Structure 1
Amino acid sequence: MCLVFLALLLMPLSSFAQSIQVTDDTGRTLQLAQPAQRLISLAPHITENVFAAGAGDLLIAAVKFSDYPEAATHLPRVGSHTQMDLEGIVALQPDLILAWHSGNPRAQLEQLERLGIPIYYSEPRSFAEVAENLRRIGTLTGHQATAELAATELEQGVAAVKTAHQGLRPVRVFYQVWEQPLMTINREHIIHEAISLCGGENIFADVDALIPRISQEAVIQQNPEAILGGGMGEANRAWLDNWQRFESLQAVQDNKLYFIPPSLLQRATPRMLEGTRLVCEKLQQARGH
């Protein structure tokens, strides 16, 4: 009888000891009774980070354009990041959903929350926050060691880029996110940090919106030394070439229009370090080196 009573007392203590608790990018506390085993990712950058943290084998589905690493292309799709397939998500019985706070439809996320499915909200806006996301994913899935290694490698790589480009002549940069409507980034965006690490000056840093819509006239007025852009796909530089008709731009006169593959700079993942190094290389060319 005493042993049974002791076992009953110890059961809640054991459960509490195994529980997992993290704070996500919105400041919300998420608690799991045990490491998650069935994950669904609702954004391509989240899918990448789950794999980087060593938990890719736990993903049971993802949204469209989750195309890195190659294993991610074989995952079942549950819609896009802007329109999820809620029935498909629920049918898969995930024990953790990883959502993009600013990119996924709030109404659909609230529906999932009402069903009691745990949701981790991702919204990294700096390299430090990408590293922290890796660590949190590692904690939530029981892959702390792999996640810590990935996070540390990212932090060390960022520090090395910063050290290598300190004191260089600043280069005034326009970064193009989209063409129609024409869009760029302000200082709160992680791409701004990438440009800054390379000694670049984001000419629209002080605009209020995170991803502001701007006019061609505003770009011409700011007259950047270099224009960086991605485009539709990993090798299509048509957006950059369209600036050639604005011959008054210094970047056009000096032929400083540089293509950066969008997946290397427009997804908040460890691969952004590769994209940042490419930005640094282009800005060195802009300096005449």
Structure 2
Amino acid sequence: MAKPLQLTDMTGRHVALSAPAQRLVTTYMPATLFTLSLGLEDQLVGISNHDTRQSLVKGLLDGRSPVQVGSRSAGINLETIISLKPDLVLINDKKDGARLAGQLQQLGIPALLIRAESLDQVQQAMDLIAKATGHQSQARRYKALTRQLIDDLTRRLEGTAPVAGYYGNGGDLYRSVNAHMYQHELLQLAGIRNVAADVPGFYPKINLEQLVRWQPQFLVLEQGKSGRLADQLDSTELASLAALPRVTLPSAALWHMPSPVAAAGAYYLASQVHPKKFRDVDVNARIGRFYQQLLGKACLSPLPAAAQAAPCN
């Protein structure tokens, strides 16, 4: 007989489970990625509305169709969650996450609040979900694979001076990331000094004067969907910025959000900013191998060469 579990979520709430959770509902993208990366696709009965639009999530679900339970922007459908009879619901701690967790608790449905704004917190989230579901070995495997990739990256960049870089949000070039945000750590790992590190706020607003004064040497851009960044860079006042070397993160990669594949994003960025340090390695193949080892499919890598080498069925 399975033993009861006593858990503490990432906001300090104590949550009791009568047994390891078998039916899971996730209410936002990172929690879905954590769950699927732990090999829990058969136990995922509910998912946020936007998640299944992403190719990475589709590939990991492999034809499965969890029920959509709403989204953070449009609102989570409490009735739908209740109807799924979940053993556990995973919720973002931001906005009204605590209120939703409280409502579920009153209904006898356990919920964990997830907070992941760093690679350490991503590992903590993976460990927490793994403990709640009895899949600790998968979380240890994730930790080992991520450590190997980051150690390789760190070794290659040892003694390399960081490049001053500016990170542009996919919806607006004048929205960046500061030292309290997840993307900042990816920049640091990739050997990039984030020029906007000290600007307060979530996706802080940057003005043209600041951009010019910072004199970044490299641009890291989210791909976005509207093409707004390209239009902004075409403007006359940004001519000097538009001439800088840049890398655009593939939107399908989901490297711009807390994710179990984030280490691959840092590795890729570093190879673009410091290419001489990666001359002896096929970066696409190395990242494809990471995806194969972690997720079981190299074709889920957003880098074309890796996908072509091992196409998905």
TM-score class normalised by the smaller sequence: 0.7 to 0.9
1:26 has 2:11 as partner: yes
1:259 has 2:248 as partner: yes
The residue aligned with 1:77 is 68
d(CA) in 2 for partners of 1:285, 1:210 = 31
Deviation at 1:114, TM superposition (A): 2.9
Deviation at 1:101, TM superposition (A): 1.0
The residue aligned with 2:185 is 193
Say whether the 8 Å CA contact 1:138–1:148 is kept in structure 2.
Answer: no
Deviation at 1:30, TM superposition (A): 2.3
d(CA) in 1 for partners of 2:212, 2:192 = 18
Which amino acid counterpart does residue 256 of structure 2 have in structure 1?
Q
Equivalences for residues 90-129 of structure 1 within 5 A: 90-102=82-94, 105-129=97-121
d(CA) in 1 for partners of 2:117, 2:183 = 8
> Please, which of 257, 268, 285 is the counterpart of residue 258 of structure 2?
268
The residue aligned with 2:294 is none
Deviation at 1:25, TM superposition (A): 1.9
> Please, which of 204, 218, 221 is the counterpart of residue 210 of structure 2?
218
Say whether the 8 Å CA contact 1:225–1:286 is kept in structure 2.
Answer: no
Say whether the 8 Å CA contact 2:178–2:200 is kept in structure 1.
Answer: yes
Say whether the 8 Å CA contact 1:131–1:154 is kept in structure 2.
Answer: no
Which amino acid counterpart does residue 44 of structure 2 have in structure 1?
L
Q: CA 1:108–1:29 in structure 2 vs 1: closer, same or farther (change >3 Å)?
A: closer
RMSD: 2.6
Larger Rg: 1
Residues 81-101 of structure 1, C-alpha deviation per residue, up to 9 Å, x if partnerless? 231111111111111000111
Which amino acid counterpart does residue 37 of structure 1 have in structure 2?
Q
Give the count of matched residue pairs: 270
d(CA) in 2 for partners of 1:202, 1:286 = 21
Structure 1 stretches of 5 or more lacking a match?
1-13
Which amino acid counterpart does residue 55 of structure 1 have in structure 2?
L
d(CA) in 1 for partners of 2:275, 2:242 = 14
Q: Does 155-164 or 142-151 show the bigger shift?
A: 155-164
The residue aligned with 1:44 is 29
SS at match of 1:132: helix
Say whether the 8 Å CA contact 2:23–2:43 is kept in structure 1.
Answer: yes
Q: CA 1:249–1:24 in structure 2 vs 1: closer, same or farther (change >3 Å)?
A: farther
Say whether the 8 Å CA contact 2:218–2:246 is kept in structure 1.
Answer: yes
> Please, which of 105, 122, 127 is the counterpart of residue 130 of structure 1?
122
Say whether the 8 Å CA contact 2:182–2:257 is kept in structure 1.
Answer: no
The residue aligned with 1:242 is 232
Q: CA 1:280–1:248 in structure 2 vs 1: closer, same or farther (change >3 Å)?
A: same
Report sequence identity in percent.
24
Structure 2 stretches of 5 or more lacking a match?
280-313
Give TM-score, length-normalised by structure 1.
0.83
SS at match of 2:146: helix
Residues 135-168 of structure 1, C-alpha deviation per residue, up to 9 Å, x if partnerless? 2211101111122212221123223222221221
d(CA) in 1 for partners of 2:50, 2:134 = 26
Q: CA 1:36–1:248 in structure 2 vs 1: closer, same or farther (change >3 Å)?
A: closer
Which amino acid counterpart does residue 148 of structure 2 have in structure 1?
Q
Q: Does 124-133 or 134-143 show the bigger shift?
A: 124-133
Deviation at 1:45, TM superposition (A): 1.1
Deviation at 1:272, TM superposition (A): 1.1
The residue aligned with 2:268 is 278
Q: CA 1:286–1:155 in structure 2 vs 1: closer, same or farther (change >3 Å)?
A: closer
Q: CA 1:250–1:277 in structure 2 vs 1: closer, same or farther (change >3 Å)?
A: farther
Deviation at 1:123, TM superposition (A): 1.3
d(CA) in 2 for partners of 1:241, 1:283 = 24
